[in-house]
Structures are given as C-alpha cells and as structure tokens.
Structure 1
Amino acid sequence: MSAEIEIYKGLLTDIKNRVRQGQLKVNLAANAEMLVTYWDIGRMIYNQQRQKGWGKGVIPKLAIDLKNELAEVKGFSERNIRTMVSFYTEYSNFSIWQLPVAELETNTILQLSVAELENDAITKLPVAQLEVINQQLITKIGWAHHIILIQKIKDLPIRYWYMQQILKEGWSRDTLLAQIKSKVHERQGALVHNFDNTLTNSHSLWAKQTFKDPYIFDFITLATEFSERELELELVKHVEKFLLELGAGFAFVGRQYKLEISDKDFQLDLLFYHLKMRCFIVIDLKKGDFMPEYAGKMNFYCSAVDDLLKHETDKPTIGLILCKGKDKIFAEYALRDLNKPIGVSEYELTQLLPDDLKSSLPSIEDIEKEFFEPNNTPENEN
C-alpha cells in the first residue's frame, strides 16, 4: 500500500508541474502577443505622423475614439498610446517583431533558462547572436516593466541588463524602480574579492554577479556614532528589506551564530545560506574602515563553517566583510594570499541629523504658527 501511495504522490507532483508549465507558457504567449500588438500600433501611429505630418494631437483623439469604440478593451489611455509610439521608436529596427508569436514561443534562442542567465552564458555568444537574444528578451518582460525601462534607462545595453535581472530576480515594478534609483547595475560585482583565485570559474562568476559594492541600507537610520551591534540589530529588524538589498537566493540563518571550536565559542555577526549558489555566506559588520586583520579573521570563520556546517554537496563558504569605508589597495593585499573566498564591500546608511543641527530647525508648532499667521495669508500680500 505504501508503494502505491508513493506512486500516487509522484503522479500528483508530475501533474502539478505540468499544469504550472502550461500556465507559464500561456502567460508568456499572451505577453508576447500584447507586446507585438503594442509595437505594431506604435508603428502605425508613428508612420502616419511622419507621412501625413500629424502632430502629437492625434494621440488624444485616438485615446477618446478607441475608448468609445472599444469600451471593453483596456490599455488605450493617452499616456499608454504615447508609450506604444516610444516602444516602437526604441525598437523599430528589431527583427524580432517580424516573427509570428507561435515562433516566438518555440524559437530555441528564446528558451533561456534562469540558470543560463545567472551563469552569464549568453555573454559568451557571438555578437550577432547576442544581439538577437537581447532583442528576444524584450518579449519576456511585462508591459509595465517596459514603461519603466523606457522612461528611466536610455542606454540600451544597460536596459538589457535590467531585463535579465527582472527575469532572474523576479523584480516587481516597485523593486525595479528602487534598483534603478540605487544604480544597482553600477554596484553589482564592484567589490574587492579573491573569488577568481579561490573558486571554480563558474562559481566565481556567479559570486561576482551576486555581491555588490556599495550596499545601500537606506531603510535604517543610525546616529553618526553607532556600534556594530546596533547596525546588526537594525538589519535584522528590517530583514525583509535587507534580503531585498542582498538579492535573490539569500536565506537568513541567524545573527550572532555560535560556533564552538576547541572548547571556545565564536559568534558570527550574520550567517546566510544562498539557495542558488548552494553555499553558506558569513557577513562580518564593521562600523569603520576596512583593516587588513579583518580578512584573516574572516578566513578563520569560513574555514570553521566549512568544517562544522557545510554539507558535502555544498560549495565553499563565502565571506563578506561590510565596512563603512575601505582602501582598495589595502583590501586587495589583505585578500591576495588567503585560501577562502572573501569579498570586501562598503555600505551606506541614512544618518540622523546631528543634535546641533536639529536645534536650528523650526519645530512643527513654529511651522504651523508661521503658516497660519493671519498676516501671512495670500490675501494680505502686496
């Protein structure tokens, strides 16, 4: 009987996976069809504007008429139609739009898995093929994300990079806006590290794509003088936002994680496990600038975690030292001859106003008094 139950469970799992695959395929096909339609509408409007000399005034009229004649169809506001025209002009030369949607679904180049995006396999392709893939990435991105990318990112290669991250990380619109605001494309992989010397090529590339410099902790506010424990507590207090800044794949294991080594207790500031890289990550927080001795201490921690916690199928533990500042040369020398993979990054905080500056600012009561003073009303102005 137990064997039949296991067989049934396997069947149930297979069916659920197949249903999910089907749903994903339907959603991708629907999204691709919508994007092709919007691109084509943008093309028609743009060409008429060029050929007939119509100005921008045609768009408000189209928005009204389409709303009246296609009342059941959403998405034809004046603003959205203008974006359709921009969508066409941004990608007017792309051959991807000449393919039927059915071919978009089955085209082998489009079958980019998350793993392929994560290990950067597409960047090793010939330039011509890479350009085709970049074009085809567009069909996998939702319209709302496209609006943000067109409005915020003018450089096309950077825009492609954000498209890849949207697919890899599953960014919502709000997350995408936050990441663009923080210029995450400039921060990714910018840390000082020794990954090339301590990890395999594929794992080193993955690690460099995972870590950033600097990390932006704008969700916490600390006084100018703060302790490392205060920083640690604030990060854990806002662990969801902390994980979002760290990136997809980080799972929080614990703070002040205790390791017993030769009858002595050692505590790790923060311990994570990365579900995609399949390794532990030790984070050491420093309130000041990087010092060379921090690297040796982190090397010790990584060795201990590899011996005491790491499973035989896990990848080597990675250490990340987060400092308020760093001298790049110091950090490079400190990491050069260590045998454990370690990175050094800076972090940025939102600082509280100093007390002397606070005292110079008006209170809420002063502002209200000034605002509501009868002599300061518009009617009494000359």
Structure 2
Amino acid sequence: MRRPCRSAIKREVRGARLQAARVVNTELVRLYWRIGRLILDRGSEQGWGSNVIGHLAVDLQREFPSTKGLSRSSLFYMRKLAASWPEAAIVQQPAGQLPWGHLMVLLDRFDEQTDRDWYAARADEAGWSRKVLEHHIATGLHPRLGSGITNFADQLAPADSYLAREMVKDPGLGRLGGSGSAGAGAADVQRG
C-alpha cells in the first residue's frame, strides 16, 4: 500500500474517532443535565435533603456498576449544572461542547453565570485543556481583558498593537516596564 493512501486512511480513522468522542461528550453532557434537572425538580417538589442524593448515588452505582460518574459528588455537580444552565439546549452553547471536567471547574470556581459563560466560550473557541482553563481562571484572564476594547490599533503600528494586547493578557509582562517612554505600559498607550 502506498504511503499517501495509508496516511489518508489514518487521517480518516483519527477524524472519525474525534467525531465519535464529540458525539459521546455531547450526549454525556445532555444526560448529566437531564439527571440534574430531575434531581432539582424532584428535590424541590418533595423537599429532598442531601442524604437522598447519597442514597440515589448508591442505588445508581449498584444498578450500573461499570458506569463512572454516578457518585454522590457527581450528582451534586449535575444538579448544579442544571441550575446554572437552565435551558436543555446547553449542548448548543459553548459549555455543552466542553468535557465534563471543564464544566466541573467552571461550576466550582464561579458563582456568576456570566463568568462561567465567558470562560466556557473561550475554552471552546481555543480548545483549552482543563489545566489551561484553570490557569486562565487563576490568573484572572477575564478581568484582565475586560471588555477587550482598546485603542491600541489606533495608537500603534499593527505589530505593536498586537504586542500591547498580549501584554494586557499576561500579568507577568506588566512587571517588566520601567519609567519613561521606553518603559511605557499598556495603560500608558491607552491614555494616548
């Protein structure tokens, strides 16, 4: 078999695996959302306490012993997922395209839905790993970028404009500046 054909077949196999993983992830998020919604609805109707969720977890693990993700803590995450993204169409939002571990990070780290949505959109758009997502959260990427509106493009040459935007994103670069025009920081350029 010729090498170009072999390479094309390998690309097809890898592409199909990736597509299958995306479909499985989408269905998993949809399932977890539905379980969370059921827990929320039944819990509020029947006044469930956290002990009921623990018993439910034990029952589900007994019924589905080879299925991971049905622990007590996972069920609490599912409930929080359904409460945080109330529409069943979560899988059509950026958050619904992320792996479950990413969603747990977002649920743990943010109380504000706008923050969850912002980081979910960036993680989906840029293909961030969970570690990269955690890094950007820990370093406050969203607050650093703010609305993202700057006058860098108007005040600087294109290459410098890009560099200034990147400096705003990276908190370590801001400490390198000095005084005077040679050490002008992004804030100085903003002021014009």
**TM-score range for the pair, normalised by the shorter chain length:** 0.7 to 0.9
Matched, 1:58 2:52: yes
Matched, 1:87 2:81: yes
Higher relative contact order (CA 8 A, sep 6+): 2
The gaps in structure 2 that reach 5 residues or longer are none
Corresponding residue SS for 2:50: coil
Determine what percentage of the aligned residue pairs are the same residue: 25
How many Å apart are 1:71 and its aligned residue?
1.3
Opposite residue 167 of structure 1, the aligned amino acid is D
Q: For each residue in 1:253-281, what CA deviation from the matched residue of structure 2 results, as whole angstroms up to 9, or x when unmatched?
A: xxxxxxxxxxxxxxxxxxxxxxxxxxxxx
Q: For each residue in 1:269-325, what CA deviation from the matched residue of structure 2 results, as whole angstroms up to 9, or x when unmatched?
A: xxxxxxxxxxxxxxxx98552422x3xxxxxxxxxxxxxxxxxxxxxxxxxxxx5x7
Q: Distance in 2 between matches of 1:175 and 1:61?
A: 35
Q: Distance in 2 between matches of 1:178 and 1:172?
A: 10
Matched, 1:161 2:155: no
Matched, 1:75 2:69: yes
Q: For each residue in 1:157-188, what CA deviation from the matched residue of structure 2 results, as whole angstroms up to 9, or x when unmatched?
A: 33222123223443332332222121111223
Which of 19, 42, 58 is the matching residue for 1:48?
Answer: 42
Aligned twin of 2:28: 34
Aligned twin of 1:213: 168
Aligned twin of 1:328: 187
The gaps in structure 1 that reach 5 residues or longer are 98-103, 105-134, 218-245, 247-284, 295-322, 337-382
Matches within 5 A, 1:229-308: 287-292=176-181, 294=182
Higher helix share: 2
Opposite residue 28 of structure 2, the aligned amino acid is M
Change (3 A) 1:18 1:184: same
Say if 2:105 and 2:134, in contact at 8 Å, map to a contact too: yes
With normalisation by structure 2, the TM-score equals 0.79
Higher strand share: 1
Say if 1:191 and 1:214, in contact at 8 Å, map to a contact too: no
Which of 8, 11, 19 is the matching residue for 2:5?
Answer: 11
Aligned twin of 1:136: 93
Aligned twin of 2:153: 195
With normalisation by structure 1, the TM-score equals 0.43
Higher Rg of the two aligned structures: 1
Say if 2:25 and 2:99, in contact at 8 Å, map to a contact too: yes
Aligned twin of 1:150: 107
Corresponding residue SS for 1:160: helix
Say if 1:191 and 1:213, in contact at 8 Å, map to a contact too: no
Say if 2:35 and 2:78, in contact at 8 Å, map to a contact too: yes
